[in-house]
Amino acid sequence: MQLNKYLTQFLEHLEIERNRSQKTVENYNFYLSRFLDWLGKDATAKDITGESVRKFRLWLNRFTDAHGEELKKNTQNYHLIALRSFLKYLAKKDVDTLAPEKIELMKMPDREVSFLDSDDITRILEAPIKNISKKSLDKENGAGQTLLLAYRDKAILELLFSTGLRVSELSKLEIENVNLKRDEFTVLGKGGKSRVVFLSDDAKTWLQKYLDTRKDMNTYMFISHDKRFGKQKDHDEPLTPRSIQRIVQKHALEAGITKKVTPHTMRHSYATDLLQNGADIRSVQSMLGHSSITTTQIYTHITDKELKNVHKRFHGKKGLKN
């Protein structure tokens, strides 16, 4: 059987048996199709050898796109991860081909984790409502557009720091799925996996204030409130992840934070705050929705600083006694 037919079966396997998201299936299709095109349309499973994979890796490393840009190292690894998964599938089908364990991934440098310290967190959380006049906060005068947007942005920031939600998860949140009478709710994350996230008192307070101020019937938790387009839409739409990114960056600048701050920075800050305050890494893994503990371990070098402080406080204060 030609490899393209095996590829089709593999992608269907990912979608049905493995319950992978449509985006994941599309990515695997892209990476594997690139490999099969490179290998040749008449290639069979036996043509996938250690030597052919070595040459493909060399080709990836030298590849440049139409703009002269090279492939990033992690993108090259994504191709190899997809190929290894494909080979595992072929092995289960007893197809004679290269053993998946023969493929080793490129060693990557440690990921840099950008997070905010406690002072920065305080300033960015205060930014949306810091400059609202007392008049606009007076309910007798009615809630204007300025107040509505301030409450929305404040609720977004509080929720990001309280739950560690990914920006895509935050964007898709629907009002009916967040029960403000409880301190927790379930969110559907990557790969269709659900997890429980927890609300701080501040997050609950500002979400409620925001919802009380809204007059629309949109089912999504966070929306644009742009009156120019309100009458043109014939269905509910949430804020896009890009719009949420702009909101976070806007308030970071207002808070005097000069470095780039994204929703993922808030997620990193959430995880770092938990670890620095004594949470164990397995619990943080669960709260972040990481399928592998390896992903969560990118935060451990941050908490190593706390170990250094412990060492300074307690080591060598008294001479050893015989």
Q: What is the pLDDT of residues 224-246, one digit of tens each?
A: 987 654 444 556 899 999 999 99
Q: Where are the alpha helices (DSSP H) in 68-144?
A: 73-92, 118-130, 134-137
The pLDDT assigned to 221 comes to 96
135 pLDDT higher than 60: no
Question: What's the rounded Cα separation, in Å, for the pair 206 and 154?
Answer: 7
Which of the 8 DSSP states describes residue 291?
S
Strand partners, 198: 184
| Pairing mode, strands 184-188 and 194-198 | antiparallel
Whether 290 is a known active-site residue: answer yes
List, in order, residues 6 or more apart from 118 with CB less than 8 Å away: 273
Over residues 166-183, the pLDDT tens digits come to 999 999 999 999 989 888
108 pLDDT higher than 80: no
Whether 251 is a known active-site residue: answer no
Whether 267 is a known active-site residue: answer yes
Which of the following is catalytic: 57, 166, 251, 268?
Answer: 166
Question: What's the rounded Cα separation, in Å, for the pair 310 and 304?
Answer: 10
Over residues 14-69, the pLDDT tens digits come to 999 988 888 889 999 999 999 999 999 888 999 999 999 999 999 999 999 888 88
Whether 235 is a known active-site residue: answer no
Which of the following is catalytic: 88, 93, 214, 264?
Answer: 264
The pTM (predicted TM-score) of the whole model is: 0.68
The mean pLDDT value for 181-194 works out to: 86
| Domains parsed from the chain with CATH numbers | 3-102 (1.10.150.130), 118-309 (1.10.443.10)
Phi/psi of residue 70, nearest 5 degrees: -85, 160
Highest averaged pLDDT of the listed ranges 68-77, 108-117, 135-144? 68-77
Which of the following is catalytic: 151, 267, 268, 270?
Answer: 267
Residue in this structure with the two tokens 């451990």, named with its chain if needed: 300
The pLDDT assigned to 316 comes to 63
CB of 122 closer than 8 Å to CB of 273: no
Whether 260 is a known active-site residue: answer no
| Lookup: tokens for 171 | 């964007």
The pLDDT assigned to 32 comes to 96
Question: What's the rounded Cα separation, in Å, for the pair 7 and 30?
Answer: 11
Over residues 248-283, the pLDDT tens digits come to 999 999 999 989 999 999 999 999 889 888 888 889
Which of the following is catalytic: 34, 93, 190, 214?
Answer: 190
The pLDDT assigned to 22 comes to 86
